[in-house]
Structures are given as structure tokens and as C-alpha cells.
Structure 1
Amino acid sequence: MDISLNYSHITVNDVDEAIPFYRDGLGLKVENDVASGEHRWVTLGSDTQPGLGIVLSGPHAGRSEADGNAIQELLTKGVLPMTVFSTSDLDGLFERVRATGAEILQEPIDQPWGPRDCAFRDPSGNMIRVNQRAN
């Protein structure tokens, strides 16, 4: 038996506002943009990990009003789970993300437990960490 991750969802307040952070800063490419009524799901991907999609959508997309409100509250508090990416060029990626105007939580540093990494908040307040891949 085998299994692989196909999609991972990141809830954002405004999909259009989030795209430049993920596309221009992190270097992901927009692969799909689907609207249904007032909701929208945008899938981004990377050539280094074909078949894996990062899906951006609003708190109420595909959820009940009550569930969307609960997710919105958690998003506003900044307590939704973080997402961790990896790259072979941490310093270059850090500068690209900084240029998007993202809130910097941590500049690139060598962590005592091993990886060199940095951290940001996307435009909606989600914590995004990026680790340096070993070459």
C-alpha cells in the first residue's frame, strides 16, 4: 500500500490578497482557480513537488455559517496550525517574501535543534515557517 498527500488547505481572509505572498514570495504557481457562488478556491503548486496542491480559501468556503464564523475567529486570533515549507535557498526566499511586505516573525537563523529556518505571517495572520533543505 502507498499513500501521498494530494492537497493541503490554508484558510485566508482574502484569496486575492494572499496570492502575492504565496506566488511571488514563496514561489508557488497558481494551478487552478475555482469559484462557486461567492466562494473561491485557488490551488498553488511547485515543480519541486508535483501533485501536491496548496489550496487557499476563505473561512466560509464549503462550510456552514457557524463553522465559518468559528474558523474566522481562530484565523483572527492567529492560532490556526502553522504551515512549514522547505527550500534550498532560504536567504533568497526570505528576501522575496520580505519584498511582499509580509510580517517577519524570525529572520533566517540556525536553530539549536538542527535546521536553519525563518518565519512569517501571511496577509491573514497564518504562521508560515521555511526550513533550509540540505543540499
Structure 2
Amino acid sequence: MIDVHRVNVWVHDQQAALEFWTAAVGFELRADATFPELGGFRWLTVGPPGGRGPELVLMAIPEPPVVTRAQSDLIREVTAQGLAGAVYLATDDVRRDHALLAARGVEFTEEPEARPYGLDAGFRDPSGNQIRLTQTPTQTPPDGAPR
């Protein structure tokens, strides 16, 4: 069986991304290693607490000579505009987690709203990546009450 293990997320500042994903979102640090032999490359991953689910690789936007300056600038620009893709987070209670994340300083771009696929809210990380917080109809809140 093939499963998702890691997903790359471009970030402008790995330390700011780490603080956001751990302190604000509540993920745990999974790996943080720097490789001097690779020019100080930092491998940084986070994921849901308790080892559940796949990891997000908080990848610094590459610089020359790995990519051209134009390519690096383009990645930085599309990431900042939220056009580099989205991260979809699942929850069993969007309203509860929206309130929790907002209390931790997460600024939502879209409040929880009913959609054809469930309840959904949107926010951005410090680099501009779009994050969706979604509760599908099959995910029932702990109290069993519809939200």
C-alpha cells in the first residue's frame, strides 16, 4: 500500500515557519537537521502530535546555484501570494479549532462556512501559503452535535 509520508511547503523563513506550525497550529517538531556539507541545508519537518499523519517539510526556498535567481524570486512571489498550492487540514470540529487557532494568533482569511463538502475555514502561514481547515460530513464533533 502506498501512503503519503511528507509534503513539501515552501517557506521564506524556516524559523518563523517552525514557530507558526508548532506554537500556533499545535503541530510537533519531527526533524530538524542542518547539513554543513550541503551548504547549511536545513531539513525541517513538523506534523500532528503523537506521530499521526504525514509530515510537512518546511523547505527554505532554494537559492542559486540550486536554481536561478529568477526561479528563486518566482517561487518566493507565488508562495507569498498563496499560489504555490494549499495545505488541507482535517478536523472533527472546525468551529472549535478555528477558535483555538485564532486565540493563538492565527489570522483567518475566511471564517468557518458551510460548503458542499463540509465546514471549511481558511488562513495563511507566515510565508503566504494557503491553509484550509476542513470538517467533512463524516467527521462528527466529539459531542455528536452537528455544527
When normalised by structure 2's length, the TM-score is: 0.77
Contact residue 80 and residue 129 of structure 2 kept, 8 A: no
Q: Does 1:58 align with 2:57?
A: no
Deviations 1:3-59 (A, max 9, x none): 111110111111111123222332211111021333322111224763621111211
* Residue equivalent to 1:19: 18
Contact residue 91 and residue 135 of structure 2 kept, 8 A: yes
Q: Does 1:75 align with 2:79?
A: yes
Cα pair distance change 1:57/1:83, threshold 3 Å: same
* Residue equivalent to 1:132: 135
Q: Supply the RMSD in Å over aligned alpha carbons.
A: 2.4
Aligned residues, how many? 133
How far 1:65 sits from its partner (Å)?
3.2
**Partner Cα separation in structure 1 for residue 104 and residue 26 of structure 2:** 12
Q: Where in structure 2 are there 5+ consecutive unaligned residues?
A: 141-147
The one of 118, 122, 126 aligned to 1:123: 126
Q: Which amino acid aligns with 2:102?
A: R
**Partner Cα separation in structure 2 for residue 116 and residue 48 of structure 1:** 25
* Residue equivalent to 2:48: 46
**Partner Cα separation in structure 2 for residue 53 and residue 129 of structure 1:** 16
Contact residue 102 and residue 123 of structure 1 kept, 8 A: no
**How high is the sequence identity, in percent, across the aligned residues?**
27
When normalised by structure 1's length, the TM-score is: 0.83
SS in structure 2 of the partner of residue 65 of structure 1 = coil
Q: Does 1:97 align with 2:96?
A: no
Contact residue 8 and residue 53 of structure 1 kept, 8 A: yes
